[in-house]
Every structure is written in C-alpha cells, then in structure tokens.
Amino acid sequence: MKKSLIWILSVIITLFAVIYQRYTGPTYPTVYQVAVDSSQVKVKLPRSHGGDTDKRIRIKTEGIELEGRIIYRRFPTTEPWDTVSMVIEDIYLTGYLPGQPPAGKLEYVVQFKAGNEIIQVNDQPVIIRFKGSVPGWVLIPHILFVFAAMLFSSVTGFFAIFKYSRYKSYAISTVVLLLVGGFILGPVVQKFAFGEFWTGFPFGKDLTDNKVLFALVFWLIAILGNLKKDRPALALTAALVYLVINFIPHSLLGSELNYDSGEVMTGMILPVIF
C-alpha cells in the first residue's frame, strides 16, 4: 500500500473516532422531537455543564404557545423532586437548573403544557453532570494531542502491517503525543474540571484515565520489543488496542459526587432509586 494512502486512511479513522466520541459520550445532549398540536418541537436536554453558574435549558417554541417546567433532584438520591417553572424569553422557553459542585449530578425531566394537555418530553430522567470551568488554553491542546496520537497510532499500525521500517519512529511519536495529551494536559484538564489530577489506577477507577494508561503500557511494550529486533506485530497490536480504546465513550464511569459523604467517587454509576 502506498504511504500516502495509509495517511489518508489514518486521517479517516481518526476523524471517525472524533465524531464517535463526540456523539456517543455521556456528555452529549439528549435530543427529542415532541409533537405539540400539529407542530414538532425539538428539545435538546444537556448532560454536562462547566462553570459555577446555573445551567440554562432553552427550547425554541416560535409560534407555539407553551408553558413548561423542569422537575429535578440531586442524583443519586431519594430526595423529593423539585420544580422550576420555565418562562418565555423572546422565542425560547427557558428554565434554569441550579448549579452543583464539581462532579455533582442532577436528574431531571421536562414537561410542557399546551392548553389543558400535559406533555412529558422525556419519560426517563436525563442526568446532567456539573464540572469546573476548563480554560481553552489547556482543553484545546489536550484534545489535539490525544487525537494526533490516534492518527500516528493508526499510521504506525499500517506501516507495521506492510513492514515499512518507519513504524518504529512513528511508534515513538505516538507515545510522545500520548504522554503530552493524556498524562500532562489530561490531568490538568481533570484538575480544573473535578479537582483531582489523576483518578485512575492506583488511586481510582476512572475509565478515561485507565484506558489511556492501558494504551501507554501496550505502546511501551511495542517500543521496547523492537529495540533489538523487528517485531512489527507488537506495534500492530498496540495500534489495535489504542483503536479499540478510542471507541470507548469518553467520560464513561467518570467522577461523581456522593452527596451524603461529600466525596467525589470515580469508576462507578450508583443506582437510581425512585
């Protein structure tokens, strides 16, 4: 295979991973189409909020007379449900969920009232997680380095398949990018968001931290195994492992505030008790 084609395929794989992470992660909004009379109202319910402000929920209702309310409680608790009335702001029906400490969560449902009819937007509560504000100067480089590592990992894997000698140098480039993106910038992002630099092994069970650590172990084995002898199979294995890891939704089983103890837990999803 031509090297130019390898780069093209690797870029496609990386872009697909970016899109997959974006749309399958637990922070992507849940979208509903709700029938109101003869119209369809698109409702986007957020599942993540950064900063110390309340979270605005805004629904475009231009030309449709609607009332709305948000019913919520802290998650995971058995506290009584609270209600926030939504108000009309310009062409939007708007309500606010109260801000929570980093890693705090709320579960909520939205209801419409059209005339005498009550319309439930979401039968199952949506869970939103709050986090500290992460500045762009660290978040953007973190994302770029992580996906650059994915790009070079894919190139390395293809080069190893076709036994191009440069797979060794590209393996080293992959590790450097992974170290910067996942082990330098990543912890800084986590510190801003949830107050801890590292919540993976051996300090916690955060899946995002642990999957990056798992990938690094395989890449280090691949590099060390190729120092004295060509072993492209090791580089291919590391590339495949990193590929699989990148298709695990980002932030899955992440930090969660235990409202009873005040501690931030990682690597677990506590059950909802109604």
Tell whether the model's pLDDT for residue 271 goes beyond 70. no
pLDDT of residue 221: 97
pLDDT of residue 176: 97
pLDDT of residue 250: 64
pLDDT of residue 180: 97
Provide the percentage of residues in the chain whose pLDDT is more than 90: 68
Looking at per-residue confidence, does 230 or 18 come out higher?
A: 230
Range in 111-120, 146-155, 255-264 the model is least confident about: 255-264
Range in 61-65, 106-110, 159-163 the model is least confident about: 61-65
Q: What share of the chain is helix, strand, coil (3-state, %, to 5)?
A: 40, 25, 35
- For the segment 163-187, the average pLDDT, to the nearest whole number, is 95
What one-character DSSP code corresponds to residue 91?
T
Provide the whole-model pTM.
0.85
What one-character DSSP code corresponds to residue 166?
T
Instruction: Report the residue count for the chain.
Output: 274
pLDDT of residue 1: 80
The full set of domains in the chain, from first to last, is 3-25+135-265 (no CATH), 30-131 (2.60.40.10)
Q: What ranges in the chain are assigned the alpha helix state H?
A: 3-24, 136-161, 167-178, 186-194, 207-225, 232-245
Whole-number average pLDDT of the chain: 89
Bond from prior residue into 202 cis (ω within 30 degrees of 0):
yes
Tell whether the model's pLDDT for residue 5 goes beyond 90. yes
Tokens representing 245 are 């890891």
Each residue's pLDDT tens digit, 171-180: 999 999 999 9
Most confident of 29-33, 59-63, 206-210: 29-33
pLDDT of residue 273: 29
Which residue from 246, 224, 244 is spatially nearest to 235, judged by alpha carbons? 224
